[in-house]
Structure 1
């Protein structure tokens, strides 16, 4: 039996950062991996959501998994800023990261997702946003969201930021022109992302455009199309601000693909991008040929449990476990870091398999049974934190 003091500490444990594993840079000084030597800031919002998960395990007498939840709470994750009301989350993240900087004297990297395009999620609709292009949404996106996002980030030159831009959006542009809503949204997406790039050109900010995942854009026919689209958007950003650039691309955001497949899933047959490492390696030459920066971050927040899908297109609340811990030890220079952009718990939508007879709630709502499942099926297994 765990001593009572330790049991109480499980309930009261406050989040703090997990230190990134530094590696020796192999790139020139002007091209330094922004994650190297930084603490991955662990945000309080996600940690507080997980309090419910910890309590659920404690009520079952499962002290080991409760202690593993504490480990998750202390792991760096991204803060999603998905509407105007959520912009205050940037100020909270800055204040908390600064407190960590003072407490530990270790440099912090604050990870944010910018996600509020007009006509967002044009193909699925489960995560439709607050702006409509039919009602002046693009201009409102620029002035009410992006400009304020940039102003908040600019207030913290003492911190490092990694920002993922608009998950799924350019993926829809590249492959879903047959959907009328996506075809209409395409120029809005392109201009909106280009504008965001131009407004976030700060020396302490690294921008990663979302590049979907290997099962979407990683097929041989899609790779050159993806590179051409990304080049187009970057050039458009440079018309807004001369010299505007990005660090690279984020892949597998909110998905379930492994960084390194073991074994390779049957549905990946014929694809050069059968896991996310190979997707990055497959896409990079096309980006390089288009003179587009080609560094990557890979979301492995829900990638621990492999080969659970019937087909690659299954995307909603797939049975999952937490994947590798965030790290710069990626085995290839072009991948800056494995990260947790969307770790388990917040639902993808009211879809996907049941857990103990319970279905998922709407997109963005907390589904605690899913978080519990992710703790149990984490791979590598989560080490417990007893204090």
Structure 2
């Protein structure tokens, strides 16, 4: 997951939005799906953090070992990034049902659907298993999206918040100058539209990835992004089929910036709350629902980056604020942890980083040490 290194050059444009068209929707669709529910705590990710806790104990650091235990009790999304990982959905459903039976409070499971052909077209650190040149789109539809949808549809006793294809449509907004992205554009659009069509169930709430403020939050990019999202939802047949959008997936931007970084000087989207507010009127202009969830699984500490284009194993960083629906922004449904902290972004950034997706315990330890108090005093 990354930001194009060219994005900061887009800072100086100025676009004034016309009065947004009212979004035609019914009241049921406008209910925040996270309200009154328990966000799912993924035991598979919590188990990986046992290594982190043991590392602190080996150093007689009981304070951070105890903090790690709190992190292990924090909700996070489950990634389904390959056909072989469809079983992750089954495991999450079984664990959520067990937790729901114990608490008698309905669970909402966060899932990431992430396996488009020609994935990560402009960087390649998270390139996937499918290629459009090898019948990848048809395989994606039949062997990945269809069984994915069948599994969540069958679990009517649970709710699902599903993030659709991080980075994909953002690349079509800014990176069509990259030949691989230009060739992948129709595949991305058709694939995501198909996923939207297949995931139409009352217990499913869809959030299309909208990158982050440092990527699409510039004045020139906001209307282009909304038009791209609109095109894909029209391909799906009915734009009211999505709940909204997700921002900052696998990135490091704060929801509310304590310090405004110098590299945000020319942007109205200097943190993710401002980005959501900046993008919302353009979405409404296109007839799209302006609802957001924001990934705060990791947040860079002030001064950690010299530019927004630094996206890989940024240091210093910490776990972000605990998942919650208590946010001071009416277009935001919830803060969530989409990226499982401790999994590497790739062999870049902090020294010793392994390949993307592999466990990076030194990084996990840093995230624990720099986590804010809300993680240890969580509120729903």
1:113–1:164 CA contact under 8 A, matched in 2: yes
Match of 1:349 among 338, 346, 350: 346
User: Residues 282-334 of structure 1: CA distance to partner in whole angstroms, max 9, x if unpaired?
Assistant: 00000001001110000011016233101110000001101100000011221
2:240–2:289 CA contact under 8 A, matched in 1: no
Q: Which residue of 2 aligns with 1:21?
A: none
Alignment pair present for 1:266 and 2:270: no
Give 1:29 deviation, angstroms. 4.8
Q: Structure 1, unaligned stretches of length 5 or more? A: 1-26
Give 1:381 deviation, angstroms. 6.1
Q: Structure 2, unaligned stretches of length 5 or more? A: 1-25
2:324–2:334 CA contact under 8 A, matched in 1: yes
Give 1:64 deviation, angstroms. 1.1
What CA RMSD, in Å, does the superposition of the two structures yield over aligned residues? 1.4
User: Residues 215-244 of structure 1: CA distance to partner in whole angstroms, max 9, x if unpaired?
Assistant: 000000000000000000000011xxx576
Aligned residues: 352
CA pair 243-345 structure 1, distance change in 2 beyond 3 A: closer
User: Residues 73-131 of structure 1: CA distance to partner in whole angstroms, max 9, x if unpaired?
Assistant: 11110000000000000001001100011111111000000000000000000111110
CA pair 369-91 structure 1, distance change in 2 beyond 3 A: same
Alignment pair present for 1:363 and 2:360: no
TM (normalized to structure 2)?
A: 0.90
1:231-250 equivalence runs, <5 A: 231-238=230-237, 245-250=241-246
SS of equivalent residue, structure 1 residue 80: strand
Q: Which residue of 1 aligns with 2:249?
A: 253
Alignment pair present for 1:311 and 2:307: yes
Cα distance in 1 for partners of 2:291, 2:276 equals 8
Q: Which residue of 1 aligns with 2:284?
A: 288
Cα distance in 1 for partners of 2:158, 2:377 equals 29
User: Residues 177-235 of structure 1: CA distance to partner in whole angstroms, max 9, x if unpaired?
Assistant: 11000000000000000000000000111000000000000000000000000000000
List structure 1 segments (4+ residues) > 2 angstroms apart after TM superposition: 27-30, 304-307, 379-385
SS of equivalent residue, structure 2 residue 162: strand
SS of equivalent residue, structure 1 residue 110: strand
Alignment pair present for 1:327 and 2:338: no
Q: Which has the higher contact order (CA 8 A, sep 6+)?
A: 2
